[in-house]
Amino acid sequence: MKWKITFLFLPFLLNAENFNELIKRINNSNVVKIYQKNIEIQKQKLNQAIAKNYGKIDFEYDYSHLFENTVMKMNSPQPVAAENKGGNIYPLIYKNINIQTKVGNKNNFIGMLSFSYPIFTGFEISNAIDIEKLNLMKSKLDLQNIKRNLILNTAKLYAGIYALKEKIKALNEAKKALLSAKEQASALYKEGLLNKSTLDEIDAKYYEITANIEETKANKKSLLNNLDYILNTKVSSISGLEQIKLKKANILNRPDVKAIQQTLKITQKALSIAKSGFLPKIYLQAGIKKEATNAFLSQNNYQNIDKSFVALSVQYNIFNGGEDKSKIEEAKISKMKADIFYINYLNKVKTEYQNDLLDLNALKKRFFAAKKEVKARKSYYEYIRAKFNEGLADVTDLNDAIAKLADAKAKRDYIKSEIFFYTLKANIDGGNK
């Protein structure tokens, strides 16, 4: 019979996964996938920033149809009367005559291939590229940090599932003890040594523990469902708790702290960009341009077709109402805000780590006491059980001893699971994986 039971439970044992196996599934989480896409987006933003440093080539082809032909108008004085003196004719009266000359068609075509290159932008482009590089690094650190949080959430659920699993085990042991007590009580009842109320009281306790087992199973299933959601995969059961050693802290190694350090660098670069508003910007421009009266840009009866050019553009802002100065002040304030946030965040994570150590130390002391309590409750239960079998203890004492032993075991295993979680949490909060 024992072999059959083992065979029935073998699939469940094989499906049980330890914590390290579950951690490997974190990359399957949808949250991780979202942050991975953020990295891909940031890579494209970096490419966009770098592209501005290579200049720009544009092709433009325009067609316009005028309602009237383009003409040039001018006034020309013309004599309208003359006087003959000595055989010579002299104009006496002049009149302005409006002369119109056609200088363009209704159909006009322009084609241009142009190149623009930023020779100097006050270091605006180079600083913008540096910012996007820092943002890319920050995105990668954000991904590491979200994995860190997912590990913590997984550990919390894993510890909770383990505690409930052990509680179910303890309740099943209590249920088994009640069944044994019921068999003994039934035998005594048949001999007239116990009354019916004693059996009923054992039954009531039995159903109470059965209901508690079902409730605990439901809570365990709920935590497993949450674990499925976080890892985006199915987890049917878990195994035991791994032994985790407390590592030396290195707060500055935390990905969230490193991400904020990148933010500090970004604010410094943003200040440099704001200062670039006080520097001139120089651009080189060149273009192949044709204006014609046909679609193939090969004919123009009114002006030269080729209007190609080379130009050097210098832009320097003399006055814009103090906008550039205000941008610099804003960038300075943003940098100071980031500095304050960084200091405050460091203090916060250091405090969290110190509290982890305090919680862990208290849990270890509680665990020592819980083991002693289990030992004492087990000894008391065995004593009461022996007395009950001899008819020297009533069923209330037996029920109480069974329940307290189950509670003591559940509390011991809960504290054990909390030690597992807080040891892992202290390592992660301290900057270690």
- 370-405 per-position pLDDT tens digit: 999 999 999 999 998 888 887 787 888 889 999 999
User: What's residue 17's pLDDT?
Assistant: 84
Under the banding of pLDDT at 50, 70 and 90, the label for residue 13 is very low
Please state, as a whole number, how many other Cβ atoms lie within 10 Å of the Cβ of residue 385. Answer: 19
Lowest mean pLDDT among 100-109, 115-124, 341-350: 100-109
Cα distances (Å, whole numbers) of residue 431 to 31, 70, 140, 251 = 21, 76, 16, 5
pLDDT digits (tens, 9 = 90+) for 69-91: 888 877 777 666 556 666 666 65
Tracing tokens 């008391």 back to the chain, one arrives at 380
Q: How far apart are CA 394 and CA 71, in angstroms?
A: 122
Under the banding of pLDDT at 50, 70 and 90, the label for residue 101 is confident
User: What's residue 14's pLDDT?
Assistant: 41
Residue 361 in this model has a pLDDT that exceeds 50: yes
Stronger pLDDT, 12 or 373, i.e. the higher one: 373
Task: Say if residues 250 and 430 touch (Cβ distance below 8 Å).
Answer: yes
Residue 40 in this model has a pLDDT that exceeds 90: yes
User: What's residue 31's pLDDT?
Assistant: 95
User: What's residue 25's pLDDT?
Assistant: 93
Q: How far apart are CA 187 and CA 318, in angstroms?
A: 106
User: What's residue 93's pLDDT?
Assistant: 62
User: What's residue 370's pLDDT?
Assistant: 96
Under the banding of pLDDT at 50, 70 and 90, the label for residue 12 is very low
User: What's residue 109's pLDDT?
Assistant: 94
Q: With CA atoms as reference, report the closest residue to 22 among 244, 256, 237, 255.
A: 237
Q: How far apart are CA 195 and CA 202, in angstroms?
A: 12
Q: How far apart are CA 396 and CA 402, in angstroms?
A: 10
Under the banding of pLDDT at 50, 70 and 90, the label for residue 3 is very low
Return the H-helix or E-strand segment holding 36.
Answer: helix 30-51
Stronger pLDDT, 2 or 408, i.e. the higher one: 408
Q: How far apart are CA 271 and CA 264, in angstroms?
A: 11
Task: Say if residues 101 and 222 touch (Cβ distance below 8 Å).
Answer: no
Residue 47 in this model has a pLDDT that exceeds 70: yes
Across the range 411-417, mean pLDDT stands at: 96
Stronger pLDDT, 193 or 7, i.e. the higher one: 193
Q: With CA atoms as reference, report the closest residue to 393 among 175, 180, 177, 185.
A: 185
Q: With CA atoms as reference, report the closest residue to 146 among 256, 52, 221.
A: 256
User: What's residue 2's pLDDT?
Assistant: 41
Q: How far apart are CA 297 and CA 328, in angstroms?
A: 49
Cα distances (Å, whole numbers) of residue 352 to 199, 330, 363, 390, 416 = 53, 32, 16, 55, 21
User: What's residue 393's pLDDT?
Assistant: 79
User: What's residue 180's pLDDT?
Assistant: 85
Lowest mean pLDDT among 66-80, 290-304, 357-371: 66-80
Q: With CA atoms as reference, report the closest residue to 360 among 276, 401, 298, 418.
A: 418
User: What's residue 341's pLDDT?
Assistant: 96
User: What's residue 234's pLDDT?
Assistant: 92
Say what the pTM is: 0.83
User: What's residue 88's pLDDT?
Assistant: 67
Across the range 313-337, mean pLDDT stands at: 91
The three-point CA angle 186-191-193 to 5° equals 80
What is the percent of the chain where pLDDT is above 70? 91
pLDDT digits (tens, 9 = 90+) for 156-182: 999 999 999 999 999 999 999 988 888
Task: Say if residues 69 and 101 touch (Cβ distance below 8 Å).
Answer: no
Across the range 110-126, mean pLDDT stands at: 93
Under the banding of pLDDT at 50, 70 and 90, the label for residue 153 is very high
Task: Say if residues 122 and 276 touch (Cβ distance below 8 Å).
Answer: yes
Lowest mean pLDDT among 3-12, 42-51, 300-309, 366-375: 3-12
Across the range 5-27, mean pLDDT stands at: 67
Cα distances (Å, whole numbers) of residue 146 to 43, 176, 230 = 19, 45, 12
Tokens of 117: 């290159």
User: What's residue 60's pLDDT?
Assistant: 96
Please state, as a whole number, how many other Cβ atoms lie within 10 Å of the Cβ of residue 120. Answer: 14
Identity of the residue numbered 211: A
Please state, as a whole number, how many other Cβ atoms lie within 10 Å of the Cβ of residue 321. Answer: 7
Work out the mean pLDDT of the chain and round it to a whole number: 89
User: What's residue 193's pLDDT?
Assistant: 67
